[in-house]
Amino acid sequence: MNELIDTNKLTECLHAIGLEHWPEIVSPMITERLSTACHGDFGKWQQVVQSLSADDNNYLAMRDLLLQLSPWRKGPFDVAGIHIDTEWRSDQKWARLRNSIAPLEGKNVLDVGCGNGYYAFEMRAAGAQTVIGVDPTLLFVMQFLTINAFKKDPCIFVLPARLHELPLPARQFDTAFSMGVLYHQRAPIDHLRQLRQTLKPDGQLVLETLYLPGVNAFASTPEDRYARMRNVWLLPSIPELTIWLGRSGYMDIQVIDESITTVSEQRSTEWMTFESLREALDPADSTLTVEGWPAPHRVVVTATAT
């Protein structure tokens, strides 16, 4: 059993989902990546996880330990009386979509690019049987392990991996989430096809992504940065995104939410002290980014895998 992730329990859950062949691939990956060889700060983060306890009454000491895992991007969280005021008010995004997706009661869910597992906990609260999250950022995995040290949920796992590293095809999940991931992909259509390879026939994709406003089908790539982010590769209009989904093997494509991200939803806090959305917008015109692109528009789309 891995010291931080119960790989025996993970194996049990994967077998129940019908993914008996996954443990031989993902267990060595977990061992390799949860190590100082993978990240120089791993030892410090591991000590934080092991030092925290739900029975510890030293509020200031626990708060200091949690701050050592900054920056906290997704949230907020409340653990042991401590409010973690994350950069993103992810609860607002969840509220926009939770009543418009297929019910999660009793379902097995894959959450791609899950970060620290904020949405995974919400999925479990909505009745999901098991949630498997994947995210390559080791700090976010350690944040999840820290939060789950308090919540003690045995049916959520966050694996330090990318979607394409999983043994695919593996069409066993009822629902797959990809939120805030597509525009970071150099080959976004490949990402959509890989997501389909995780879904049962008639399983549901829940996709949240940036889009460019417009009634025509088109997509554009920033020359350098978008909203100060370097790793934004291709931004589609909603009609173009719909074409991508149809060409990737989805049907019943539905737009369930469109929104413009505000500085009340994404901002700097004590738990994420770096620049945030405010610094990414044109100070003279908040409808534009500092590079002159439309300010972040986000869409949530559901689609059914064929």
pLDDT tens digits for 25-64? 999 999 999 999 999 999 999 999 888 865 567 889 899 9
CA distance 227 to 248: 28
Determine phi and psi for 199, rounding to 5 degrees.
-100, 140
pLDDT value of residue 56? 62
Q: Could you give the C-alpha distances from 24 to 38, 179, 206, in angstroms and in order? A: 20, 27, 28
> For residue 235, what pLDDT is reported?
98
Strand duo 281-282 + 156-159: pairing: unpaired
Q: Which amino acid is residue 240, in one-letter code?
A: E
pLDDT < 50: residue spans in the chain: 1
Residue 9 neighbours by CB under 8 Å, 6+ apart: 154
pLDDT, residue 53, reads 63
Tokens of 267: 């901002």
Q: Residues 6 or more apart from 198 whose CB is under 8 A from it?
A: 110, 163, 166, 168, 169, 170, 171, 172, 173, 176
Distance CA 51, CA 247 (A): 49
pLDDT of residue 11: 96
Q: What is the pLDDT of residues 59-105, one digit of tens each?
A: 898 999 999 999 999 999 999 899 999 999 999 999 999 999 999 99
Query: Tokens 């009793």 identify what position?
Result: 106
Q: What domains are defined for the chain?
A: 7-305 (3.40.50.150)
- Give the helix/strand (H/E) hosting 8: helix 7-17
